[in-house]
Amino acid sequence: MVSKVGQARPKTGGRVKGTPNKTTAAIKDMIIAALDNVGGIKYLEAQAHGNPTSFLSLVGKIVPLQTDSNINLNATHRIERNIVDPANPDR
């Protein structure tokens, strides 16, 4: 079948959209097994405290990349200035 200019051809083969690559699925299974072997949640909690940069990098990779753009945030900002007398800093 010949498609016209500007028209997409129908998909005729390959994996169904969203199906993970076999290698990717196998690696995920190995990572989960290794995590279970070193303590699972307790290990991740220790990493969050001991290596927060690496832990947050991991969190950033698993949090969904698509977000709902209709989020309504009611945020209040407060700026407070405290002037301290150097001669009496406890006041």
The whole-number pLDDT of residue 71 equals 66
For the cut 70, the answer to whether the pLDDT of residue 69 exceeds it is no
- Smallest CA-to-CA distance from 62 within 91, 32, 87 is with 32
How many of the other CB atoms lie within 10 Å of CB of 46?
13
- Report the C-alpha gap between 24 and 60 in whole angstroms: 19
pTM of the model: 0.45
- Report the C-alpha gap between 66 and 71 in whole angstroms: 12
What residue segments make up the domains of the chain, in order of their start?
A: 22-61
The whole-number pLDDT of residue 65 equals 63
How many of the other CB atoms lie within 10 Å of CB of 42?
9
What distances in angstroms separate CA 10 from CA 1, 2, 46, 54, one per listed residue? 10, 11, 50, 43
Q: What percent of the chain has pLDDT over 90?
A: 14
